[in-house]
């Protein structure tokens, strides 16, 4: 049975500055392109039955530079919708609220511009995982996407609530491996790059 490789796109201007980047379609920085090219070497020995990629440019470009290409553009892999918090840092949001804010505890909703709930993201990634599981008998599956959506996806792979994604920090340009041990879903590698 194959494994699922979850790959976060390379560095962008906002991932470097810590700004939450949902639907804003930023290009990779030169550093991000180099991160993606470096993955070609470490992932080159795998045979992928399927490569599913977020529709956003930063993920598609990462997949191409890493030598993965894509077999499917999957809208369910798009990054979390941050609503009114799009483009803002955790520090800025916390200062505005007058308390420490966490996407994992507090969500993305603002009165003016509500975002997506973690439960909504959990339902999206459950669909992605269903599609990936269907291909694992044929080999590995790569999912190239974004930090928060891949963290929720990893939590759901392990049978955890979407909020447990807080436990799986994944730097830009790095990847993790979701596999099995004794027939149970496990995390076999994380924050590799």
Q: List per-residue pLDDT tens for the chain, 193 residues long.
A: 899 999 999 999 999 999 999 999 999 999 999 999 999 999 988 999 999 999 999 999 999 999 998 999 999 999 999 999 999 999 999 999 999 999 999 988 667 778 999 999 999 999 999 999 999 999 999 999 999 999 999 999 999 999 999 999 999 999 999 999 999 999 999 999 8
* Three-class secondary structure of residue 80 per DSSP: coil
Per-residue pLDDT, 55: 98
End-to-end CA distance of the chain: 23
Per-residue pLDDT, 113: 76
Question: What are the Cα distances from residue 180, in Å, to 76, 133, 134, 141?
Answer: 23, 11, 15, 14
Per-residue pLDDT, 112: 74
Helix or strand (DSSP H, E) at 4: strand 4-8
Question: Model-level pTM?
Answer: 0.96
Q: How many CB atoms lie within 10 A of CB 19?
A: 19
Alpha carbon distance 6, 186 (integer Å): 13
Domain boundaries, the chain: 4-79+117-192
Q: Report, as residue numbers or ranges, the catalytic residues.
A: 9, 79
Contact predicate 88/20, CB 8 Å: yes
CATH of segment(s) 4-79+117-192: 3.40.50.1240
């Amino acid at each position: 049975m194959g494994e699922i490789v979850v790959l976060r796109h390379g560095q962008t201007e906002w991932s470097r500055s810590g700004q939450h980047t949902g639907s804003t379609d930023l290009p990779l920085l030169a550093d991000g392109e180099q991160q993606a090219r470096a993955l070609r070497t470490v992932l080159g020995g795998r045979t992928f039955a399927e490569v599913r990629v977020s529709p956003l440019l930063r993920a598609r470009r990462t997949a191409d530079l890493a030598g993965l290409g894509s077999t499917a553009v999957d809208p369910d892999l798009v990054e979390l919708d941050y609503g009114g918090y799009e483009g803002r840092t955790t520090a800025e949001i916390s200062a505005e609220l007058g308390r420490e804010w966490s996407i994992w505890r507090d969500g993305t909703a603002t009165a003016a511009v509500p975002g997506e709930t973690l439960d909504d993201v959990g339902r999206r990634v459950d669909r992605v995982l269903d599609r990936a599981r269907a291909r694992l008998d044929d080999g590995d599956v790569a999912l190239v996407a974004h930090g928060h959506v891949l963290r929720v996806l990893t939590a759901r792979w392990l049978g955890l609530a979407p909020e447990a994604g807080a436990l799986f920090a994944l730097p830009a340009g790095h990847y993790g491996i979701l596999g099995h041990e004794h027939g149970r879903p496990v995390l076999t590698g994380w924050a590799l790059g």
